Amino acid sequence: MDTIQMNQKAVRIVVQWNPFNLEGFDYATEAADVVAALQTIDDPSELGKVIQNVYEQSFEEWIPLEKCVDISYKLIGLKFETKCVIK
């Protein structure tokens, strides 16, 4: 899997997460922001805080940090899986 495929898969993970259970909403802007942050962040807690902030900025609604860290683990796992395959 290359970086482009990883980013596409990460976007799908973020979109499917759907933390506010909105029908028909694609979270494209939020997914792009989260995937951009994923490029430079390897710590699940740090990425979780970024995710929390991105969604709070967009929706003016707070998501518990634990939920954001849960999704960040999936994203960072995907990132490390990609790094191992690329090398």
In terms of Cα–Cα distance, which of 57, 49, 9, 8 is closest to 30? Answer: 57
Q: Where residue 83 falls among pLDDT bands split at 50, 70, 90? A: confident
Tokens 């090398």 belong to residue? 87
Using alpha carbons only, give the angle 13, 16, 21 rounded to the nearest 5 degrees. 145
CB 41 within 8 A of CB 51: no
Domain ranges across the chain = 3-18+25-86
pLDDT exceeds cutoff 70 at 28:
yes
Task: Give the helix/strand (H/E) hosting 19.
Answer: none
Class in CATH terms, 3-18+25-86? mainly alpha
Q: Which SS3 state, helix, strand or coil, does residue 7 take? A: helix
What was the pLDDT predicted at 81? 87
Query: pTM score, two decimals?
Result: 0.90
